[in-house]
A and B are shown apart, each in its own frame.
Chain A
């Protein structure tokens, strides 16, 4: 798998800094390499940009509020009535994307609407809007205040750092509904009797589908996170690189994930969007761009992967997904799903996506222009992502169902 580098990270960065780097998006590179041939193209191309924009539930942020007079040691806190975790330090909170608002009836009147939650608070923070903080404390000698309530914006915070334990799933399930009634899932509303299906990946533009063996994307890789320069800080949670792969090594199911972080004060609100999923809950959609340095021809070859060569498993979210039966109805290519219709068990099924390919294209172009103009230098990973890791289930049986 390893191949001698034809270009080092340092050489690529020198070319970027000199304004001479040749950068293509993961969509453009496929035709370019087909036309020029791999060996010619590898000496020309310095960077391929990849991107994705979609709901990424495992996201959130650390916020530092600074101290009030008198001081408070927050033990419980809400931002716009959305609970934030206060068990960190006196005025540090962690706000998660999927936290629903206090008073939201959730699925009491099924299906719930989930209009506002953690993801929406994060969107408003990045947009510079005013939010309301309510924090409570049991009070101590050194932190005597019992309560603080007031308006603030991101400008008032010392730090607002997005820390997302799991983003950028390498590939993902395609959800379908084989039951007799409509179901409400994190992949959207699914009609009964397989009348539609939903996928969630940028396919040929998606970062880890362009670097299936994590040869360039690793811990320490510089990324574009919603307009800010961020980093991969660890393998993502549920990183399962020991997934089933096709002949080219492209995973045919979820597989690898990335843990990402960046400064929210430098983000652009259009790429940080609160998500309301009817009957399911709230989340956060994020734009991520990841540059792939073309250090050798194999790395380049893997970035030429096309939608027709990437498949995803179609799974019944009314039964097989919740019950973990492992049954896969069929596999579909992203090319077929992006056409609007796909064949499942002899039926033509309407398709839709939860991930935005249009936004992913935009992001890949933005990152490309930032690299071309010398504003975005690449970083060499300090550690590789694990290549042989399995995801284990929790061996406890729940005893209550909806």
Chain B
């Protein structure tokens, strides 16, 4: 079994299709949607965690692309800008998955593990320095 975090972005035509449903039915993939912004007449976005057999995952991603859905595996829906971060640690109590964490307690420096991020956006609300941002 393999697990992948995907960022899907699609034009409005693709927004009308039951894409997630197809992933479950046709490819036997487990889906956990972190967040989505799909509105008529606009470009849509969805961040989800997909679990399944390697072949099925590959086929599922190929299917998405065939439906004009852009598939990004670089987990960049939420960005931590290290140059804006002051390492104050204000965010650490609010990150539910510890994606944002103090990686070195001696130096008290922050790290961000984007694969652990479930894009709850709590960090964006609590960071005093605007170091966290969302692409949608």
Q: Which of A36-44, A225-233, A291-299, A354-362 contacts B (4 or more CB under 8 A)?
A: A354-362
Contact A55 B94 (CB under 8 A): no
- Bitwise, B89-132 to A at CB < 8 A (1) or not (0) is 11111100000001001011110000000000000011011100
Q: Does B86 interact with chain A (Cβ within 8 Å)?
A: yes
Given A338-B108, A352-B93, A358-B108, A53 and B125 touching (CB < 8 A)? no
Contact A354 B93 (CB under 8 A): no
Contact A189 B108 (CB under 8 A): no
Q: Which of A83-91, A211-219, A274-282 contacts B (4 or more CB under 8 A)?
A: A274-282
Number of interface residues of B (CB under 8 A): 20
Q: How far is the CA of A356 from the CA of B107 in the complex (A)?
A: 10
Contact A354 B125 (CB under 8 A): no
Residues of chain B contacted by A340 (CB below 8 angstroms): 92, 102, 105
Residues of chain B contacted by A274 (CB below 8 angstroms): 129
Say whether chain B's binding surface is mostly helix, strand, loop, or mixed: loop
Closest chain A residue to B126, Cβ basis: A189
- What is the minimal beta-carbon distance from A381 to any residue of chain B, in angstroms? 30
Chain A residues 309 to 361 lying within 8 A of chain B, measured CB to CB, are 338-340, 350-359, 361
Number of interface residues of A (CB under 8 A): 32
Residues of chain B contacted by A356 (CB below 8 angstroms): 86-89, 108
Residues of chain A contacted by B86 (CB below 8 angstroms): 53, 273, 285, 356, 358-359
Which residue among B102, B108, B125 has the maximum number of chain A CB atoms within 10 Å of its CB?
Answer: B108
Residues of chain B contacted by A191 (CB below 8 angstroms): 93
Q: How far is the CA of A151 from the CA of B23 in the complex (A)?
A: 54
Q: How far is the CA of A275 from the CA of B129 in the complex (A)?
A: 6
Q: Does A154 interact with chain B (Cβ within 8 Å)?
A: no
Contact B107 A358 (CB under 8 A): yes
- Bitwise, B49-89 to A at CB < 8 A (1) or not (0) is 00000000000000000000000000000000000001111
- What is the minimal beta-carbon distance from B5 to any residue of chain A, in angstroms? 25
Q: Does A198 interact with chain B (Cβ within 8 Å)?
A: yes
| Interface residue from B90, B125, B130 paired with A353 (Cβ < 8 Å) | B90
Say whether chain A's binding surface is mostly helix, strand, loop, or mixed: strand
Chain A residues 53 to 98 lying within 8 A of chain B, measured CB to CB, are 53-55
Q: Does A164 interact with chain B (Cβ within 8 Å)?
A: no
- Bitwise, A185-205 to B at CB < 8 A (1) or not (0) is 000110100011010000000
Give the A-B contact count at a CB cut-off of 8 A. Answer: 73
Contact B125 A352 (CB under 8 A): no
Closest chain B residue to A275, Cβ basis: B128
- What is the minimal beta-carbon distance from A286 to any residue of chain B, in angstroms? 11
Residues of chain B contacted by A350 (CB below 8 angstroms): 92-93
- What is the minimal beta-carbon distance from B101 to any residue of chain A, in angstroms? 9
Given A196-B93, A339-B105, A350-B93, A358 and B87 touching (CB < 8 A)? yes
Q: How far is the CA of A338 from the CA of B125 in the complex (A)?
A: 23
Closest chain B residue to A111, Cβ basis: B125
Contact A198 B90 (CB under 8 A): yes
- What is the minimal beta-carbon distance from A200 to any residue of chain B, in angstroms? 9
Q: How far is the CA of A20 from the CA of B102 in the complex (A)?
A: 37
- What is the minimal beta-carbon distance from A363 to any residue of chain B, in angstroms? 12
| Residue contacts A-B, CB under 8 angstroms, 10 given | A189-B94, A196-B94, A338-B108, A339-B105, A352-B93, A353-B88, A353-B90, A354-B128, A358-B86, A358-B109
Additional 20 contacts, C-beta under 8 A, given A352-B91, A356-B88 = A53-B86, A188-B90, A189-B126, A191-B93, A196-B94, A275-B129, A276-B130, A285-B86, A340-B92, A340-B102, A350-B93, A351-B93, A352-B93, A353-B88, A353-B108, A354-B90, A357-B107, A359-B87, A361-B107, A361-B108
Closest 5 CB pairs of A and B: A358-B87, A196-B93, A357-B108, A356-B88, A275-B128
